[in-house]
Amino acid sequence: MELWIKKIESASTLEELESLRVDTLGKKGVLTIEFAKMKDILAVDKKSFAENLNRQKDQITKALDSKKIELEIIALDKKLQFEKIDVTKFNNELSCGAAHPVAETMNRIINYFLNLNFTVEEGPLVEDDFHNFQALNLPEYHPARDMADTFYNKDYTLLRTHTSPVQIRTMLSQKAPIRMIAPGTVFRRDFDITHTPMFHQIEALVVDEADKISFANLKHVLVEFLQHMFGEVEVRFRPSYFPFTEPSAEVDISCVFCKGSGCRVCSQTGWLEVLGCGVVDQNVFDAVGYKDKSGYAFGLGIERFAMLIHSIGDLRSLFESDTRLLGQFKWLLQEDG
Ligand code: PHE
């Protein structure tokens, strides 16, 4: 038996150990054969014969078990070494993300107005009719409601179609004077090359005592702002209509691509429309209970700004998460420090 134990102890693989188990304890193993001899042993000798065999079986089993554990550890070590992954092998340079052009443009605009002492206000994305329409001088059945194709919920709440309801919420919760911007997500039922059902706007509202705020103030702030964003561009105010401002204007800049001489992007006009603005309509002040106040407001689409600043041709590419596009904006992070 000692010979078998020695063999077991010097086994070098699990397969070898298994065949030693078969040779000793298996159906035709040496010990099994010994046990079979029991029936021929005289009754008086049976007990000591059996005890002896059981002891041997015990020793062999113990030797097999402990060798098995030992060989399994070795086998696992080998396997781990083989499967080891060198995480530094392909790229030992840390790759960092980039600011999304929409977020980056939004932050640029927010920072500009923070420097002018504007506050940043927020409002809910799920709005009600009062804040999104009625208080903004858009009563029920007003034809201008068609300007925005609205997503309505079953409970008559809606997804806000612009950031203008934040004007209302801010005036209802704060006293004049107000200088605020409201950046955020807005929703419209529109989807083509120049529209996505979700996009971003920044709203601005300035309110002070009656006659203190005029269109001239608005014009000055916007010309400065647009030249900060787009460089040396010309700025043009075109009369327009918004229910919540009177007078209202749409603002164009000279085309940043052709410098005003006419190209495909500006449809040969030399001008690009970039925002809507106006002097706050008296009906809006009435809706929030503001008396003897004056103010201006404007609102702009951030995607449009981002596309013009970074020469991005298709609006939809801003929402496709293609890292080949997004990776190009890493330098913006470095620029910000
Ligand atoms: N809310 C308008 C829009 O979504 C933009 C706007 C804001 C116009 C404030 C005038 C004043 O188109």
Q: Are 160 and 129 in contact (CB under 8 A)?
A: no
Q: How far apart are CA 31 and CA 10, in angstroms?
A: 20
Task: Using the mean position of ligand 1's atoms as its centre, give its distance from the Cα of residue 277 in Å.
Answer: 6
Structure tokens at 35: 């046990």
Question: Which residue, judged by its Cα, is nearest atom 5 of ligand 1?
Answer: 299
pLDDT tens track for 194-227: 889 999 999 999 999 999 999 999 999 999 999 9
Does 199 contact ligand 1 (Cβ within 6 A)?
no
The pTM of the full predicted model, rounded to 2 decimals, is 0.72
pLDDT of residue 93: 67
Question: Which residue, judged by its Cα, is nearest atom 10 of ligand 1?
Answer: 277
Q: How many separate helices (H) and strands (E) can be counted in the chain?
A: 12, 9
Lowest mean pLDDT among 79-83, 129-133, 183-187, 232-236: 79-83
Percent of the chain with pLDDT over 90: 72
CA-derived radius of gyration, the chain? 40
- Closest ligand 1 atom number to CA of residue 186: 4
Which residue of 121, 149, 162 sits with most ligand 1 atoms within 8 Å of its CB, as the best mutation to test the pocket?
162
Q: Is the pLDDT of residue 334 over 60?
A: no
pLDDT tens track for 64-110: 999 999 999 999 999 998 888 777 776 656 677 788 999 999 999 99
Task: Using the mean position of ligand 1's atoms as its centre, give its distance from the Cα of residue 242 in Å.
Answer: 7
Give 90 or 156, the one with higher predicted confidence.
Answer: 156
pLDDT tens track for 240-260: 999 999 999 999 999 999 999
Q: Is 262 left (phi over 0), alpha (psi -120 to 50) or beta?
A: left
Q: Are 257 and 313 in contact (CB under 8 A)?
A: no
Which residue of 244, 250, 279, 304 sits with most ligand 1 atoms within 8 Å of its CB, as the best mutation to test the pocket?
244
Task: Using the mean position of ligand 1's atoms as its centre, give its distance from the Cα of residue 129 in Å.
Answer: 16
pLDDT tens track for 303-320: 999 999 998 888 888 999
Question: Which residue, judged by its Cα, is nearest atom 6 of ligand 1?
Answer: 299
Q: How far apart are CA 311 and CA 257, in angstroms?
A: 8
pLDDT of residue 92: 59
* DSSP 3-state of 313: coil
Does 137 contact ligand 1 (Cβ within 6 A)?
no
- Closest ligand 1 atom number to CA of residue 164: 1
- Closest ligand 1 atom number to CA of residue 162: 4
Does 164 contact ligand 1 (Cβ within 6 A)?
yes
